[in-house]
Structure 1
């Protein structure tokens, strides 16, 4: 929260266990974030999540040259970015609370792997990547039903925020490719 004081127009998005942190402007609800951004312009968005922030820090600490953030929303854009730049790709799923398997992360990884298959024609994936791809192919026509059975969706339903699930599984609606660095995330298009 100290970081927010350094910027005059910063949006603080912070949650713990899917609940907005006191003094944050918003939790990590994509619906609520979009509503706020439609009303006011911010120069910086500061993000703190239960799992995503830890996963990004872990990937950076492992020394990966490039760390991009992908979801269902930008699976194709992420795959295009990776296909043009990387000879080897690893996908790290944030998981539930940063500790437990999360079906939506696994399926989103599968969506990205599927987009890589479509772009490159041939891959030599590790078994986990292949399993995520096959799971996504199997579930894509009933994605919402599958994800609603998972722990993360049940948690969102408990706190009355299940509306975010439908928002979060829209396929390929964004061309933004977030690239993570030590202390910031930037859109790949701004790095060219």
Structure 2
């Protein structure tokens, strides 16, 4: 039986780096964000639906993320409408991924809003990626186009890091070196392999 590990963490915690470490160790990873990019990219199957709901937010390259962000930013109703388009499509892709990897001992679902969107109910174990608040803030504010106000708004929509850590089966710290983080990832894989074997 496959163990499904939900991997999550607030913005700027290093989740993508940790997901890549699991992949490097041979564990299949489903990246929900990458899936959204594909669905909204050039020729993506959600582009027409998003254009219909939010006119002038798409073009030849698919969804214009800046324009779409402005169309839904600070507008709960619009944001909910967008989620209604995106979430079911991502769920379908996730089911395809799980079916394709049902013979594997361990798979990772990399889901940013695992707790907030209720995805934690569909996994066997949860790993939370976490770094000190000042490290997180510095990482996020270094991103192109990011402002302190936007960062605060994103944080407000996410469950606090402390609460995520409390609900996790594993906490993967990313405030130190990459080697230290990789060591924890390997330990998590070993623990889950033992659980599967036992």
**Structure exhibiting the larger radius of gyration computed from Cα positions:** 2
Q: Which has the higher contact order (CA 8 A, sep 6+)?
A: 2
TM-score (norm 1): 0.31
> Which structure: greater helix fraction?
2
Tell me the TM-score normalized by structure 2: 0.30
